[in-house]
Structure 1
Amino acid sequence: MAKATPSTAPITEETDEITSEDATTATITEGEPPAVPSDWKESDGSRVRVAASAVLARVAQVNLGDGTVGDLIPVVHRAFGELDEIAQTAVDEIDRLTVLRMKESLLMLTRPEDPGLVLGLAAPDGTLLLDATHITDPLREMYEDNADPDESALRRYRFAISELFHQQSLLAVEEWDEAERRSWADPAVRLFETGVNALWTAARLPDHLIELGLDKVAPGIEAVSVPAGYPVALPAAEHLIGGVATAGEQTPEELLRTLVSLPPTAKFAELGRVLLTSAQLLPVIPPEDFADVSADLYAALRAPFEALAVLDVTDIPEVAVEATARQAANLAFAAAYDVLAAATERYHVEEPSATSATSTEET
């Protein structure tokens, strides 16, 4: 299940090495989720996170066509209402807030007049909008509480800090014009961007707590966990980043840091650049062909994420949803490797190294 502090290393449990054959033998299909481990037990939190993910998928299924992003306002407004209803069914307060946090990707798409409860938002003018009850009040309480906080309080504090940290990392985003909003309407771009941002928050938060000395302010906060959410977007992004980083002889942390600083539409392009570099193709591709090869890589990486973004995960166990997300990353990497192999043959360079054909290594 999703955790608040996943490693940025690629997920390796019960996954195969990624090879070009996967691109033709593996598919993302509705009704055929991966097998669920016999010892896995669904929690109420996993139930609501999957239900919320299904809402995001229904929004992704809407084809904007020749319309404008504003045409999505009724769709997004309905989705906000559904997310609010799902959140209300959560038994645990932090699970409820995790569902409400999943509104963010839709808020960045378009903003209905009444989105309901919004936990946080990095406004285009550099202003941080934070909910008082669930974010700023717990932070104030954390500093004012002289007694040893119990686990419930520590989890509220940790969630509030994670939301603040997450929104601060988005402050560099400038106000978008219509073209940029249309790019965000691309479900594959939105899914990968959401996964990168969620992964960055989850991966960096433990160190961030220590750097701020919050383990001294609220002893035990470093030990409690809160869910990261996004059981579709986060595992897919984590797995793909791990594979590309390995191929590019980087650490996943290094590549993640680069990606989080880039605009949404530049992230797949950066993965393509890393792969071209790893395959030693950058110096040999003629300038007149470079745009076409880069576009082929972008399309190869993007297509499985689009299929994943629109996949209906209703009633699928969270552990199977996460496995499906990793499968999509496998397909993206394998399709990209096929592009590299074709370019290698065309431009007569040495075959890509073995590490370029494998995105996971046992650690």
Structure 2
Amino acid sequence: MKYRRGLMFLIDKEKNEAISLSKKTFQELEFKERKHLQEWISKNTDILGERLLIIQKEFAGFDDTKERLDLLALDENGNLVIIENKLDDSGRDVVWQSLKYASYCSSLTKNDIKDIFQKYLDLQGKSDHSEKLICDFLDIEDFSEVELNSDDQRIIMIAANFRKEVTSTAMWLLDHNIKIKCIKVTPYELGGQILLDTEQIIPIIDAEDYLIKIANKKQEELINREKKQTRHTVRLDFWTQVLQEMNEKSDLYKNVSPSKDNWLSCGCGYTGLAYSFVVTGNYARIELWINRGTQEENKEIFDNIYTYKEKLESSFGDKFDWQRRDDGKASRIAYWLRDVNVFNEEDWPQMIDFLTSNMIKFEKTMKGILKEVFQK
């Protein structure tokens, strides 16, 4: 007897039995590719097994072609994701189609992506700004620090059934470090209710990390040959110079190493509180970052320090930026230098002098007040 795959059951706890659900096709249910499946994905990307930000539907912004991809998205690493959705049959040409779209999207710049997303928001009648939504999605504070489409594009194909030539090609592409994923979707019906089952068939979830590591290993020698300077190496060089100057003036950062990130922190003697340098393509900042315990505790600490506002600013010689951040867990007290760019080496002397001299003064100003606050 041949075993039937893709069976689904509803457990009736009272009767203690499994009730078979009726497997359906999208055609039987009169569901359409764009009207239904595409909308479901755009409203809930969990169908694809991950958190994505949909930035355009039916994207047709390709020169000299009228072709349009179903959905364009960003993943949590800022990579573009090309999503092709089919209904009951993937078709023979879906891989070729997806690869074409990925190649078209490879040239999209950060500003292109921002504008594409803004057009999508405008067409939906939303008042949101694309820059802010992208920053929120990626959990990055400043858009100048966002990196988009800096890695290879990803492909996700979704269908009820995948032809053998499609899965074979997808596996070959995956083995050659093309980031591709196939999601199988199956509708079921029970008492007029429609259920949707999703299954990632390529790469198999249990083997996904292994397959990706193998593919990445093949690319390692190529990557190592490319020694061009990146954002990370620029920051590493910058923080190295900051620490050299800082350590000549103060012991505050003596035990801190240079970082590839846009921030560099050291402890201030109280758990959950840190003095931080922050740099971007738009500014440099020093701050006291308060992230200790619960949101309520952080706000209480901030409020207690705020009672010393006049004394602190008078001692420092300038006003601070007091960010209670009521909607966030942490709070900060900051001091800024605007209109400087960490990726412009001509700005480095000004930025390094600002960060080091003001952090020393900032720490000296805060030290006594923090002692009073934590003795209360």
Q: What TM-score does the superposition give when structure 1 sets the normalisation length?
A: 0.27
Structure having the higher strand fraction is: 2
Q: Which has the higher contact order (CA 8 A, sep 6+)?
A: 1
More helix per residue: 1
TM-score, normalised via structure 2 length: 0.26
